[in-house]
Amino acid sequence: DQQVKQNSPSLSVQEGRISILNCDYTNSMFDYFLWYKKYPAEGPTFLISISSIKDKNEDGRFTVFLNKSAKHLSLHIVPSQPGDSAVYFCAASAGSSQGAQKLVFGQGTRLTINP
């Protein structure tokens, strides 16, 4: 029972173009969504997040869109740069237990930016 799914294991994009990474979820109790970026042999690094009461959040080159009716979110990176090549994880949480954020992660999408 995978509550958070990233159906594209990999994505290849040309430098300067837009990268769009997708994520679907099944649990309607999720109220907060996050994207993490991971380089090889390193831990995940927080990138951007969105609350379920919003449908868009923007931070520089990164924008996350949330479609609650479709239970779908996407991460847009524009323009894409070589340093964006990494594995991107979508994660979600359903409230917090004693204030803790119990994240459920997708499988990840490996993004490769080609020069």
Partner 1 sequence: NAGVTQTPKFRILKIGQSMTLQCTQDMNHNYMYWYRQDPGMGLKLIYYSVGAGITDKGEVPNGYNVSRSTTEDFPLRLELAAPSQTSVYFCASSYPGGSNQPQHFGDGTRLSIL
The burial of 115, by beta-carbon neighbours within 10 Å (0-12 exposed, 13-18 middle, 19 or more buried), is given as: exposed
Contact status: 105 vs partner 1 (CB under 8 A): yes
28 sits in the region (left: phi over 0; alpha: psi -120 to 50; else beta) called alpha
Report in angstroms how near the CB of residue 25 gets to partner 1 at its nearest: 12
Closest to 75 measured CA to CA, from 30, 4, 36, 22 = 22
- The interface region with partner 1, picked from 10-18, 43-51, 53-61, 75-83 by CB under 8 A, is 43-51
Contact status: 27 vs partner 1 (CB under 8 A): no
Pairing of strands 32-38, 86-93: antiparallel
Q: How many CB atoms lie within 10 A of CB 6?
A: 19
Binding string, residues 54-93; x marks residues near partner 1 by CB under 8 A: -----------------------------------x-x-x
Report in angstroms how near the CB of residue 18 gets to partner 1 at its nearest: 24
User: Where does this chain bind partner 1 (CB under 8 A)?
Assistant: 4, 6, 9, 31-32, 34, 36, 41-46, 49, 51, 89, 91, 93, 95-108
